[in-house]
Amino acid sequence: MTELLLRNACVIDPLNRVNGDVMDIAIRDGWIVESVGNGAEVIDARGFLTLPGGIDSHTHICGTKVNFGRYMMPEDMRAGRTIRKGVMHATSGYSVPTTYGNSYRYSAMGYTSILEGAMAPLEARHTHEEFSATPLQDTMANTLFDGNWPVMEAVKEKDVKRAAAIVAWTLAAVKGFAVKLTNPGGTEAWGWGKNVTCIRDPVPHFEVTPAEIIETLIRANELLRLPHSVHLHCNNLGAPGNYQCTIGTFDLVPDLNKERQSLYATHVQFHAYGGTSWKDINSKAEPVAYSVNRKPQIVIDMGQMMFGKTTTMTADGPMEWNLYRLHHNKWSNHDVELETTSGIIPVYYSKKSLVNCVMWAIGLELALLVKDPWQCLLATDNPNGAPFVRYPEIIGLLMSKRYRDEEFRTIHPDTGKRVILDTLDRELGWHDIAVMTRAGQAKALGIAKIGKGHLGVGAEADIAVYPIRIRDTDPSRDYAAVVSAFQRTAWTIKRGRVVCRDGDVVVEGTNRTIWANSRVPEAFDMGRDPEFVKKFDRYYTVRMANYPVQDAYIPRSGCIESEAVL
Amino acid sequence: MLLKDVVCPYCACLCDDLDVTVEGNRVTGVDNACDLGAHKFQAGNRLPGPVRPTEKGWDRVSREEAIGFTVDMLLSADRPLIYGWSTTSVEAQSLGIHIAEEIGGVVDATTSVCHGPSILAIQEVGHPGCTLGQVKNRADVVIYWGCNPIEAHPRHLSRYTMYSDGFFLENAFKERTLIVADIRPTESANVADEFVHLKRGGDYAVLSALRAIVRGKTGSIPSHVAGVSRAQLLRIGEVCKNAKYGAFFFGMGLTQTVGKYKNIRNAIELVDELNRHTKWTLTPMRGHFNVYGFNEVCTWVTGYPYAVDFSRGMAFYNPGETTAVDILARKECDACLVVASDPAAHFPRAAVEHLAEIPVVQIDPVVNATTAFCDLQIPVAVTGIDAEGTAYRMDGVPIRAKKILDLGYPADSEILREVYQQIRDRKKVREVKPV
Amino acid sequence: MRFMLFSGRTIRQGNAVESKLSPEYRDATSVLSMTPFDMMEAGLDEGDAVLVSGPGGQVVLTVKADEHLPAGHVFLPYGPYANHLTPTETHATGMPDYKAIPVEVEPAEGKPVTVWELMRDLGGVPHAP
Amino acid sequence: MRVILTAKPRKKPLIPVEAETIIPRHFRQGRDLTVWEGNRERSLRDIFDVMVERTAAAAEEVEVILRGDVSRFKRVGEYMDAGKITIEGDIGMHCGNFMTGGTIEIHGNADGWLGREMRGGRILCHGNAGHYAGSGYRGEKFGMKGGTLEILGNAGDFAAEYLAGGEVIIHGNAGDLPGVEMVNGTLTIHGNCSRPCGNMTGGTCTVLGTVRGMLPTFRKNSTLLHGSDKIPLTVFEGDIANRGKGILQVREYSYDD
């Protein structure tokens, strides 16, 4: 039995309606308890801001595509090298750090749970191997179904239950956490070098539309009672005028679940563009936020873009190709048979680029215009909008109008004509930030019930103590202090152990992989479905028996079980 | 006993549909495998236990002594080289990389003499790739450039290209166009629809010319480029542009010839250019079983795919400087750990000579040419036969290789874990108590 | 006579690669392919021994005809025999010139030595159980 | 100020030493410097006999002289910004990486990556240079951006790869693919070379000797008479395999047809 008492913590714990109370937190064997004995180790938090461990509900940190980003960019690697020291491995990389680099840097920022935004099922083993080398955060993987042939065939047959059964089989086989749709239908079209422009374009050969795929899978997802909703990267990312497609997509979404949203729309910054070309691109954050404000069934994340060097990587292969033709730097693409695709290019977001300045403003506008912070979470689609190490600056910008104005003065002078950011006075508070970086994520992902994202008794003891006293700090004015506090915790506690102290990692750590297993009736077991098996064997290049991810890849399993209603 | 869906441990095709019959802890039959794979299952020649040469001959040593010797050698070296990795599991490779990190050594893999140049090219321009099922289900034009799959990857044509029907091609053999480019008419060239007969070293110029042709800049192309007629180049340009889906495979005919990675860069840029017209992908025909697995794990651990120098405590990468052949040829390293490869058979003579001058430990199941340079050899199980573990197919698909026999040998990963642990114990690496 | 040697994979070499000390491996990797025309010019018959000298060193091989080779080129499967001729120059890419080794081929006596003997020549100590 | 560093005999003389601390500025500051021999950090005085003459008010006034066998010493002069380094014999890899100012003079030969990613200043190599003289680093789109790199002997392969600014002058021959991926700057080769400027997009390369394996994707534009000797050159533009607007002017050339 190990016990820890965190004293004098200034706690914000939105899920338990705690807002700035100074209290003690008792921890036993990794979980938060009522009280601990006198022998417990004591940490005096000195009145510092104490939050549940950070949760990133959409980031790219592990798997084929991420690793290819590292592989193709030795120049990014040398930009962020640290030496082997204490228990810390050497790390490399700035926008796509090594697994240890990701894990240490997230930990220094107080993050304890992260969700890989896109895992191709066929290559799931790879994601899990990298998870094992990401020791300080519990991990989850969004599983890609956007171009899944059996799913599209079920959609064409209007067979929601069959689609659900395919999802259930696949998630269990690959130890996936949630259903991810990246440019649904577009990734299959990309198999022929084509794309879909929005939700009503038919997918070549399969004769289904993105709208049908999205609607069917939202319903299937709820039949399976999965913890998280469908996680959608809308069609037509990054194209001027795409906000209409985004709003049209939101209009498809029924409200099916009282506990959480029915659709998580990710990196919406990239989907809220007005105009008809790069020449007249402008912000449509307002109508998009308006749509979100009217629909409790939708949660979005910002997909904030920050100026500087980074790497874009997504399952949206055709979009990356378009980006490559714009930037001409280097381009990787990886199509995955029967399932999906992906693309990678390095980018530099410049304050001299009006387009980039508009993008920067849109992300912030979304966070300021969506009224309920539970509906707009903080993320950069790491590393697409910016590497996650930029989160503290985003927090500063959201909390300080003055900081925004100062930044605004340094960017392209015409930006003001295209955006409304400079007219928005809202400044988010500490509680809003706590929601947008942990509580909201836990609720949206459906992992609050396994003890994530809060600090109540029974919660897993994942805690971040930031070296800042909120009563002595006016974030509007002292935004630099806010940014610096969020960059480096005083203590990051993971499962009841201090794992990071003042930015230095002090334990080797072992993570847990959280995945979803929805039990379906026997008649819906795709492993025994003759049609499914026949097509699998005919069109995949691996045998069905060799497809599922073995238990050896999940050293610490955090399976969330559910009973499907089929 | 018949075991189904066994993964072949030979080449990076990682065929996973083998039927293997095991009787009395011995493989008695292999179905579906090519000749190369079948041979590997039935090869004997295993060393019974750790051995080292003495003046009187080769002596057996205990596992503990063997590990102790290895740890001593690595810890006392000023510039140790850790090399090999292509025929073992990702789990073992990962440990090897961590050992290099811990001791301040250089870690390199057989990649550097295989598709290392492909990686250098990808680092310049990226890689438009795919899994092999995309090719099987869609590709109507297939190019094999500087490779001879019939001899090197015998089932490649039947599983993924020429003879493999797919979702969008019901009669692949008739519907696909196969182009082979090489400096001689190989077995693979004999089955091609079109053979591009290049002069040696002409790949770069021919690929440049094709790029210009695909861009519509045909004007200044001379009548012949490295032995290939302008007419043929124009014809191939058209076939490529008119493909519904094209797949470009290449081998060591590009990576090992003059220009090295620049040849591959040119091929990649040709494929990029073709994507402006239709869909094309490119795949290196990686040779060894799990050579790509090393690149993957080395990348997520260190940031670089191979040739990583940890002597300063952080990862430094520069093929040509931190690659095994260069280090050995320059006699830079003062100890060498070889795992799952045979550099003495596969490196140029002068690079091998240095192995005779420094302490060498080899972890490998069989007696091979490198054994002659060993101060110690530790035999282990063969991954995919008597040890399981992850391997990456040439296209990046990870597959778990199975253990189908138990011959009593430890897996490489077990030996390496002990070595790593002892090194850390000796260096007193412990978790730090936070204050 | 001067030739350009290139090395590569063959099925025979691939089959024997797991048992490098076997006669099969030696036979698979010590046979130099040459065009019949070049053989005639050099006065060689199939199975004759030749001494091949390259920038890396010298080695005795046997000759075999291959009409598909480009004139002036000889082929040798990957392995220690080819590597006895290969220079270590990698042009700072890590990769030696396995596919372009200028060699001198002349008739010789004897037959290819074993792999062990090649290794001994480089300072190695052959394993004896 | 003159600092004379004479390399002592080493127990393992072939193990490379990384000596990026050897730049003039560091000696003026009088810091205790270290270098790395393989994976061991060593005091400069373990590796060299150090002799210092006079003092200097600025790095510009410091000359560092390297004597003895430093042919395995890497990264000498890395990030150097002022002063002078004189190497009396051969020097190891990466000499003058990223240098922005000052002068490096090498009386012997230089190993690979001489003046890699150079930004300014001057390197003069009296002997031959290895591969990748004046080049970039793996994966970077721009190599040398400024300064002058002059090699009186021959250069190896991939000289001035990704050249993006400044000047590279090779008085002897260059190897294969000089100026490959060149984007800007000037490259002059007084001797021969093969396949210059593959994939170039900008800049000017002049070859006053003979080019072998001239690439087929350069468009012949004009002719000119070069320099005071009025050497006749053929002027090409390319590389048309991409959208290249580079200039390649050569005295004699042959295609590999």
Chains that touch B (3 or more CB pairs under 8 A): A, C, D
pLDDT tens, per residue, chain D with 257 residues: 999 999 999 999 999 999 999 999 999 988 899 999 999 999 999 999 999 999 999 999 999 999 999 999 999 999 999 999 999 999 999 999 999 999 999 999 999 999 999 999 999 999 999 999 999 999 999 999 999 999 999 999 999 999 999 999 999 999 999 999 999 999 999 999 999 999 999 999 999 999 999 999 999 999 999 999 999 999 999 999 998 899 999 999 999 98
SS3 content of chain D, % helix, strand, coil (to 5): 5, 40, 55
DSSP single-letter state for residue D70: B
Q: Under an 8 A CB cutoff, do D15 and B318 touch?
A: no
Q: For chains C and D, count residue pairs whose Cβ atoms are closer than 8 Å.
A: 14
Interface of B with A in 137-156 (CB under 8 A): 137-138
- Cβ neighbour number for residue B423 with a 10 Å cutoff: 18
pLDDT at B434: 65
Question: Is the confidence at residue A408, as pLDDT, over 90?
Answer: yes
Q: Give the pLDDT confidence of D138-156 residue by residue, as tens digits.
A: 999 999 999 999 999 999 9
Alpha-helical segments (H) within A133-225: 149-156, 160-174, 186-189, 210-223
Give the span between the Cα atoms of B69 and B80, in whole angstroms.
14
Q: Please give the tally of structural domains in chain D.
A: 1
Residue C81: CA count within 13 A, CB half-sphere: 31
Q: Is residue A8 part of a domain?
A: no
Of D131, D138, D241, the CB nearest to B123: D138
Residue D252 dihedral angles phi and psi, to the nearest 5°: -130, 150
Does residue C14 belong to the interface with chain B, where contact is any CB pair within 8 Å?
yes
Q: Is residue A245 part of a domain?
A: yes
Q: For chains B and D, count residue pairs whose Cβ atoms are closer than 8 Å.
A: 118
Give the nearest chain B residue to D220 (CA atoms): B220
pLDDT at B432: 67
Q: Give the pLDDT confidence of A155-172 residue by residue, as tens digits.
A: 999 999 999 999 999 999
Give the span between the Cα atoms of A409 and A351, in whole angstroms.
10
- Cβ neighbour number for residue C43 with a 10 Å cutoff: 9
Owning domain of residue D246:
109-253
Residue A365: give its domain's CATH number: 3.20.20.140
CB B144 within 8 A of CB B409: no
End-to-end CA distance of chain B: 59
Percentage of residues in chain A having pLDDT higher than 70: 100
Q: Under an 8 A CB cutoff, do A334 and B130 touch?
A: yes
CA distances from C117 to A116, A422, B85, B342 (A): 54, 80, 26, 16
pLDDT at B84: 98
The sign one gets for the Cα dihedral D211, D217, D220, D221 is negative
- Average pLDDT, rounded, for chain C: 94
Q: Is residue D12 part of a domain?
A: no
> How does DSSP assign A97-139, residue by residue?
--HHHHHHHHHHTTEEEEEEEEE-GGGHHHHHHHHHT-TTSEE
Interface of A with D in 297-356 (CB under 8 A): 329
DSSP single-letter state for residue B406: -
CA distances from B336 to A397, B295, B328, B333, D26 (A): 53, 20, 10, 7, 36
Would you place residue C16 in the very low, low, confident or very high pLDDT band (cuts 50, 70, 90)?
Answer: confident
Alpha-helical segments (H) within B33-115: 35-42, 63-76, 90-103
Please, what are the domains in chain C?
2-121 (2.40.40.20)
Q: Give the pLDDT confidence of A139-150 residue by residue, as tens digits.
A: 999 999 999 999
SS3 A18: strand
DSSP single-letter state for residue A91: B
Label residue C71 exposed, middle or buried (CB < 10 Å: 0-12, 13-18, 19+). exposed
A468: its two tokens: 């800042």
Interface of B with D in 184-213 (CB under 8 A): 199, 201-202, 204-205, 208-209, 211-212
Place of tokens 């980006």: A323
Catalogue the E-assigned strands of B123-262.
Answer: 128-130, 141-145, 177-182, 194-197, 224-225, 228-229, 245-250
Please, what are the domains in chain B?
47-114+289-431 (3.40.50.740), 116-284 (3.40.228.10)
Percentage of residues in chain A having pLDDT higher than 90: 98
Does residue B353 belong to the interface with chain C, where contact is any CB pair within 8 Å?
yes
Pick from A347, A396, A394: which is nearest to A94 by CA? Answer: A347
Catalogue the E-assigned strands of A354-445.
Answer: 376-377
User: Which chain C residues contact residue D132 at CB under 8 A?
Assistant: 92
Q: For chains A and B, count residue pairs whose Cβ atoms are closer than 8 Å.
A: 205
Alpha-helical segments (H) within chain D: 24-28, 44-47
The residues facing B195 across adjacent strands are B180
10-residue stretch averages of pLDDT, chain B, 435 residues long? 96 97 94 94 88 94 98 98 98 98 98 97 98 98 97 95 93 93 94 96 97 93 96 98 98 95 98 97 96 98 98 98 98 98 96 98 96 98 97 98 96 98 91 65
- Cβ neighbour number for residue D53 with a 10 Å cutoff: 10
In this prediction the pTM is: 0.97
CB-based touch C/A (3+ pairs, under 8 A): no
Give the span between the Cα atoms of D183 and B63, in whole angstroms.
57
Q: Is residue A160 part of a domain?
A: yes
Q: Under an 8 A CB cutoff, do D217 and B209 touch?
A: yes
Give the nearest chain D residue to C93 (CA atoms): D131
Does residue D84 belong to the interface with chain C, where contact is any CB pair within 8 Å?
no
Q: Please give the tally of structural domains in chain A.
A: 1
Q: Which of A71, A320, A330, A551 to mutate to test the interface with B (most CBs of B within 10 A)?
A: A71
Q: Which of C4, C88, C91 to mutate to test the interface with D (most CBs of D within 10 A)?
A: C91
Q: Which of D131, D240, D243, D253 to mutate to test the interface with B (most CBs of B within 10 A)?
A: D240
Q: Under an 8 A CB cutoff, do D198 and B224 touch?
A: no
Pick from B69, B9, B88: which is nearest to B294 by CA? Answer: B88
D249: its two tokens: 């002017």
Q: Under an 8 A CB cutoff, do B332 and D177 touch?
A: no
pLDDT at D139: 94
Catalogue the E-assigned strands of A352-486.
Answer: 376-377, 463-466
Place of tokens 């869609």: B138
SS3 A505: strand
Does residue C110 belong to the interface with chain B, where contact is any CB pair within 8 Å?
no
Owning domain of residue A93:
52-305+353-383+391-449
Alpha-helical segments (H) within B179-288: 187-190, 203-214, 230-242, 252-255, 261-274
Does residue C90 belong to the interface with chain B, where contact is any CB pair within 8 Å?
yes
Q: Give the pLDDT confidence of A254-298 residue by residue, as tens digits.
A: 999 999 999 999 999 999 999 999 999 999 999 999 999 999 999
Give the span between the Cα atoms of A284 and A275, in whole angstroms.
9
Give the span between the Cα atoms of B232 and B220, in whole angstroms.
15
Write a three-state SS string for A449-480: HHCCCCCCCCCECCEEEECCCHHHCCCCCCHH
Write a three-state SS string for B268-290: HHHHHHHCCCCEEEEEECCCECC
Residues in chain A, total? 566
Pick from B346, A25, A555, A564: which is nearest to C17 by CA? Answer: B346
Give the span between the Cα atoms of B290 and A73, in whole angstroms.
22
User: Which chain D residues contact residue C91 at CB under 8 A?
Assistant: 131, 156-158, 175-176
Q: Under an 8 A CB cutoff, do D175 and C92 touch?
A: no
Q: Which of A337, A489, A493, A510 to mutate to test the interface with B (most CBs of B within 10 A)?
A: A337
Of A72, A75, A329, the CB nearest to D137: A75
Q: Is residue A42 part of a domain?
A: no
The sign one gets for the Cα dihedral A26, A32, A35, A41 is negative
Give the span between the Cα atoms of A489 and A69, in whole angstroms.
28
